[in-house]
Amino acid sequence: MPAVTKKNKKTSSNSNGVPKLKFNSGWEYAPAPESKSHIKLKDRYDLFINGKFVKPSSGKYFETINPATEEKIAEIAEANAADVDKAVKAARNAYERVWKKMPATERAKYVFRISRMIQERAREFAVIESIDGGKTIRESRDVDIPLAANHFFYYAGWADKLEYAFPGRVPSSLGVAGQIIPWNFPLLMAAWKIAPALATGNTVVLKPAETTPLTALKLAEIIQESGLPEGVVNIITGFGETGADIVNHPDIDKIAFTGSTEVGKIIQKAVAGSNKKITLELGGKAANIIFDDAPLDQAVEGVINGIYFNQGHVCCAGSRLFVQESVYNIVLRKLKDRIETLIVGDPLDKNTDIGAINSKTQLETINKYISIGKKEGAEMYQSSCPIPGKGFFCRPTLFTNVAQSNRVAQEEIFGPVLAIQTFRTDEEVIEKANNTPYGLSAGVWTDKGSKIFNLTTKMRAGVVWANTYNKFDPTSPFGGYKESGFGREGGLHGLSGYLKV
């Protein structure tokens, strides 16, 4: 058993003098680890180009580690510009000679087959996703993997119905798509990129994030097994430089990127003046708003899910909480009680609510913001749960006494840290919610239906949730305004990024 650090339990009272409820004591849940015995992982993975796994030109490999244990899992090939060129050539070849000519219904069959194969190996994918990235098995099993399979199912259905997607227009595919995805939802992001690209008749060169390449590589194995024509999908691993090589390659028709706003800007500059089409899905600093007529316990639950789901590594995370001042004390009390019951620990334990932070770098970033918050004068509150001695972990954190000008209220932290502000009126909160360069998502909590309709049209965010949060579906278009990017993924809207209409 790794050493465990326990924080001193706070036994204090409410403002009435009523003692706080005692959580995380008494009946403890025994470890309930998910079995790893059935998964198949190689010691070393090569690049998937033109239907085969080939060695990197440079012969270089890097390690991917398990962020919960800091142990190495496998060696991963590092692609250089020559490998990128090989992959793009393979994709171009496959596009011109095979994929472009294939009847849409036939294309659909491959996409459908891939989704079935993901489903059949769902448990294996879920366990590997948790080991590689640190997210809890509960989430990878119940959210990531099913949604990934669903995206392939959904877009398989569109392949032969594109003429109905845009009435009066005849859409055609673009060619070769270069796709770069992040580490927070590795397999799901691969599905969001590959499925629509294939369904619309494009071929793909995809680079997974360097800390989470494994499920993309397992997907490559499935793709190989599915008989998809060689070169239609190429998966090459590497760091930021490999991504830059893809972006800058002259024979790419379309770039799709999900990641930080900072890198998104670099990419936009790089493709300016070229013929490349581009969609970007970047960062966010979403406002989650609790009105005084909200069902408070359910709102608190939604806020908790909004920021602590996937350890807060979510672009659309509800990282700014706005509470109407008249219910502030009650909401704060409920938030604090609720975070006491969140279990931080081994991602493979079925009872873990908050898994490992994806990497040492990310943990350092989060801790940096926590100290910035404290220096700025915000009050920090963390739960008292024990955290493992090894691995990268962070307790769920709240900041109160936060103003709009605090850095923790402005900058994306990408971790389990919630900044809480109060507001008095509807107009005030709309203004504050929109007062950000980001515009990806928002949440509204109120029991009054008319307020929902009224408010949501005024939020400058691509996705607005009412009385819920973090709900995704392949039929529902996802994407941002302003510096959260442009273009949509999912639904009918998700097709247009990959078509000339």
Partner 1 sequence: MPAVKERIIVPDFRSSPRVDQAGIEERASRFTKRSIKKESKVEGLKLVLSMIDLTTLEGKDTPGKVKQLCYKAKHLLDTYEGLPTVAAVCVYPSMVRVAKKSLGDSDIKIASVATAFPSGQAAMKVKIEDTRFAVGEGADEVDMVISRGKFLAGEYNFVFDEIAAIKEACGEARLKVILETGELSTFDKVRRASDIAMHAGADFIKTSTGKVQPAATIPVTLVMLEAIRDYYYSTGKMIGMKPAGGISKSKLALHYLVMLNEVLGEDWMNNHWFRFGASSLANDVLMQLVKEKTGVYQSGDYFAID
Name the residues annotated as catalytic: 281, 315
* 457 is a site residue for partner 1 (CB under 8 A): no
CB 421 within 8 A of CB 321: yes
- Minimum CB distance to partner 1 smaller for 281 or for 340: 340
* 447 is a site residue for partner 1 (CB under 8 A): yes
* 18 is a site residue for partner 1 (CB under 8 A): yes
Q: First and final CA of the chain: distance in angstroms?
A: 58
- Minimum CB distance to partner 1 smaller for 28 or for 43: 28
Stated as kind and residue range, the H or E segment containing 487 is: none
Q: Per CB under 8 A, which region of 14-22, 74-82, 267-275, 309-317 contacts partner 1?
A: 14-22
For residue 420, give the amino acid letter: I
* 302 is a site residue for partner 1 (CB under 8 A): yes
* 472 is a site residue for partner 1 (CB under 8 A): no
Q: How far is the CB of 17 from partner 1 (least distance, A)?
A: 6
- Minimum CB distance to partner 1 smaller for 31 or for 389: 31
75, 121, 135, 486: which is closest to 313 by C-alpha? 135
| Sole binder of partner 1 in the list 296, 378, 455, 463 (CB under 8 A) | 296
| Sole binder of partner 1 in the list 5, 8, 12, 16 (CB under 8 A) | 16
Q: How far is the CB of 35 from partner 1 (least distance, A)?
A: 12
Q: How far is the CB of 302 from partner 1 (least distance, A)?
A: 6
- Minimum CB distance to partner 1 smaller for 29 or for 453: 29
Three state DSSP letters for 261-305: HHHHHHHHHHHCCCCCEEEEECCCCCEEEECCCCCHHHHHHHHHH
Q: Is 457 helix (H, G, I), strand (E, B) or coil?
A: coil
The phi, psi pair for 478, rounded to 5°, reads: -125, 130
Task: Please classify residue 360 by burial: count the beta carbons closer than 10 Å to its beta carbon, then call 0-12 exposed, 13-18 middle and 19+ buried.
Answer: middle
- Minimum CB distance to partner 1 smaller for 75 or for 337: 337
**Which residues 341-360 are close enough to bind partner 1 by CB under 8 A?**
341, 350-351
* 36 is a site residue for partner 1 (CB under 8 A): no
Q: How far is the CB of 354 from partner 1 (least distance, A)?
A: 13
| Sole binder of partner 1 in the list 293, 376, 411, 426 (CB under 8 A) | 293
Distance CA 273, CA 491 (A): 29
* 251 is a site residue for partner 1 (CB under 8 A): no
Q: Per CB under 8 A, which region of 16-24, 48-56, 209-217, 425-433 contacts partner 1?
A: 16-24
| Sole binder of partner 1 in the list 7, 9, 32, 374 (CB under 8 A) | 32
Strands (E), 119-271: 172-173, 176-180, 203-207, 233-235, 254-258
Binding mask 125-144 toward partner 1 (x if CB under 8 A, else -) reads -------------x---x--
**Lookup result for tokens 């279990």:** 343
Q: Is 167 helix (H, G, I), strand (E, B) or coil?
A: coil
Q: Per CB under 8 A, which region of 24-32, 232-240, 280-288, 426-434 contacts partner 1?
A: 24-32
- Minimum CB distance to partner 1 smaller for 341 or for 435: 341
Residue 330: how many other CB atoms lie within 10 Å: 14
Residues composing the chain: 501
For residue 468, give the amino acid letter: T
Q: How far is the CB of 214 from partner 1 (least distance, A)?
A: 25
Distance CA 214, CA 204 (A): 18
Q: Per CB under 8 A, which region of 182-190, 231-239, 299-307, 419-427 contacts partner 1?
A: 299-307
* 27 is a site residue for partner 1 (CB under 8 A): yes
- Minimum CB distance to partner 1 smaller for 298 or for 475: 298
Q: How far is the CB of 33 from partner 1 (least distance, A)?
A: 9
| Interface size with partner 1, residues (CB under 8 A) | 36
**Lookup result for tokens 């709309």:** 430
Return all residues near 144 (Cβ < 8 A) that are at least 6 apart.
126, 129, 135, 185, 187, 188
Q: How far is the CB of 308 from partner 1 (least distance, A)?
A: 12
Task: Please classify residue 418 by burial: count the beta carbons closer than 10 Å to its beta carbon, then call 0-12 exposed, 13-18 middle and 19+ buried.
Answer: buried
Three state DSSP letters for 205-236: EEECCCCCCHHHHHHHHHHHHHCCCCCCEEEC
* 1 is a site residue for partner 1 (CB under 8 A): no
Distance CA 2, CA 390 (A): 7
Binding site for partner 1 (CB under 8 A): 13-14, 16-19, 21-23, 25-32, 138, 142, 293-299, 301-302, 333, 337, 341, 350-351, 447, 467-468
